[in-house]
């Protein structure tokens, strides 16, 4: 089996000067397996039924830091922790890898008010969230707070592929009630291959959110969003209602239309007695209907059909906006992973 390039995580073992800068953070290093790869010791490990090898790295590999050259690689290498990494064959297209393990599929709830929207509470366990957050951090995309978005089209990192597989698996094993008929995604979406081929990771500092929008039409139906690190309220507003309410109000400021700060408390109603993550805002007459969904770390939402095309979604984390039943949500950095599939390119005429 041939391995040419791996993204792996290396931690320094020592605090010696020339490694001081490495100690501050976990580095994503690209290990170029050149002729020295004879020093690799590999053994098959198919515990998960995957064709993969476990490699024990020897220390005299040529290392490059992501972005800049790490000149002292082989000298420093002697001080690096021996990494046991998972590697996939070159053809597999995998890069960084995490072990998300199995997931629970019993937490799916349909958000009745927003047709086509499903919520899976605690889709990822605390351990899985930690593994995923670490994998994202290791990518180095958000090492500076002003870097807040990373996109991948095709060639998805290994952890993204794992996430996609986990989502597909969970939805496939969910048995919708006879009333629901279809679960979080209809079969034509669920059976497509690949399920998702585009990933956006967003990082939001406290106070930052995303304006009301409908995802671009260049993406197919069927969208999944995983939330990490900080809880938030995502608001859904029906497009037709919103357009109507905009016509009826003198204000063209959508934010003021959707502003619940002045709504009487009684206008806020929790839906479905057994569900604690959805609330509907009964707007003043003529204003858009809005449904709020509480997304906790590890939660997953999946959207298709009307919820994908006819409802906007928004996260307003500006001051005092993230209130859930009278309590201010503790805002921390929030990371989300959005998975979608690009529409097939139309042939040029
Ligand atoms: O961060 C989120 O949860 C939502 C992201 C989103 O809506 C998007 O990227 O289109
Ligand atoms: Fe979106």
71-97 average pLDDT score: 36
Take atom 5 of ligand 1 and give the residue whose Cα is closest: 338
Residue 206 in this model has a pLDDT that exceeds 90: yes
| 64 token code pair | 């490059």
- In the chain, where the domains are located: 5-92, 108-340
**108-110/149-153 β-pairing:** unpaired
Residue 40's pLDDT is 41
Contact assessment for residue 71 and residue 1, using Cβ atoms and an 8 Å cutoff: no
For the stretch 17-70, pLDDT in tens is: 333 333 223 333 333 333 333 334 444 444 554 434 333 333 333 333 333 333
Report residues near ion ligand 2: CB below 5 Å: 215
Write down the ipTM of this complex. 0.99
Residue 262 in this model has a pLDDT that exceeds 50: no
Contact assessment for residue 108 and residue 54, using Cβ atoms and an 8 Å cutoff: no
For the stretch 285-326, pLDDT in tens is: 555 688 999 999 999 999 999 999 999 999 999 988 899 988
Residue 181 in this model has a pLDDT that exceeds 60: yes
For the stretch 121-160, pLDDT in tens is: 999 999 999 999 999 999 999 988 888 999 999 889 999 9
* Average pLDDT value for the chain: 70
Which of 200, 225, 341, 342 for a ligand 1 pocket mutation test, highest count of atoms within 8 Å of Cβ? 225
Highest averaged pLDDT of the listed ranges 32-41, 88-97, 213-222, 277-286:
213-222
Residue 278's pLDDT is 79
| 121 token code pair | 């509470």
Which superfamily does 108-340 belong to?
Alpha-ketoglutarate-dependent dioxygenase AlkB-like (2.60.120.590)
Residue 104's pLDDT is 60
Residue 154's pLDDT is 87
Give residue 210 CA to ligand 1 midpoint distance, Å.
Answer: 7
Please state, for a pLDDT cut of 70, what percent of the chain lies above it. 56
| 242 token code pair | 């919103």
Put residue 19 in one of left, alpha, beta given phi > 0 → left and psi -120 to 50 → alpha.
alpha
Residue 98's pLDDT is 56
Q: Which residues line ligand 1 (CB under 6 A)?
A: 200, 202, 210, 215, 225, 313, 336, 338
Please name the residue that has the structure tokens 């928004």. Answer: 314
Query: Coil, strand, or helix at residue 246?
Result: helix
Take atom 10 of ligand 1 and give the residue whose Cα is closest: 215
For the stretch 159-169, pLDDT in tens is: 999 999 999 99
Round to whole Å and give the CA distance between 300 and 108: 9
Residue 12 in this model has a pLDDT that exceeds 70: no
Residue 321's pLDDT is 87
**232-238/223-228 β-pairing:** unpaired
Round to whole Å and give the CA distance between 58 and 60: 6
């Amino acid at each position: 089996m041939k391995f040419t390039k791996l993204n792996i995580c290396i931690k320094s073992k020592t605090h010696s000067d020339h490694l001081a800068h490495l100690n501050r953070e976990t580095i994503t290093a690209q290990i170029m397996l050149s002729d020295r790869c004879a020093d690799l010791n590999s053994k098959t490990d198919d515990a998960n039924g995957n064709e993969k090898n476990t490699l024990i790295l020897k220390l005299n590999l040529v290392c490059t830091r992501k972005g800049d050259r790490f000149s002292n690689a082989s000298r420093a290498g002697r001080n690096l922790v021996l990494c046991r990494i998972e590697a996939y064959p070159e053809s597999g297209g995998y890069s960084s890898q995490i072990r998300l393990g199995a997931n629970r599929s019993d937490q799916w709830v349909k958000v009745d008010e927003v047709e086509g929207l499903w919520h899976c509470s605690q889709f990822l366990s605390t351990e899985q969230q930690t593994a995923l957050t670490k994998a994202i951090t290791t990518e180095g995309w958000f090492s500076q707070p002003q870097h807040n978005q990373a996109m991948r089209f095709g060639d998805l990192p290994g952890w993204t592929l794992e996430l996609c597989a986990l989502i597909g698996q969970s939805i496939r094993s969910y048995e919708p009630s006879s009333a629901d008929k279809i679960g979080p995604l209809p079969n034509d979406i669920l059976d497509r291959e690949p399920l998702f081929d585009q990933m956006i990771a967003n990082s939001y500092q406290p106070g930052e959110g995303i304006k009301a929008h409908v995802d671009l039409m260049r993406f197919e139906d069927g969208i999944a969003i995983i939330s990490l690190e900080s809880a938030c309220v995502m608001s859904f507003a029906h497009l037709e209602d919103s357009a109507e309410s905009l016509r009826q109000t003198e204000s063209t400021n959508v934010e003021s239309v959707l502003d619940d700060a002045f709504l009487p408390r009684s206008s806020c109603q929790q839906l479905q007695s057994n569900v604690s993550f959805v609330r509907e805002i009964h707007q003043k007459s003529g204003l858009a209907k809005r449904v709020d969904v509480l997304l906790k770390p590890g939660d997953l939402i999946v959207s298709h059909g009307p919820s994908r095309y006819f409802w906007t979604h928004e996260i307003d984390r500006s001051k005092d906006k993230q209130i859930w039943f009278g309590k201010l949500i503790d805002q921390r950095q929030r990371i989300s992973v959005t998975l979608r599939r690009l529409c097939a390119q139309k042939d040029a005429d």
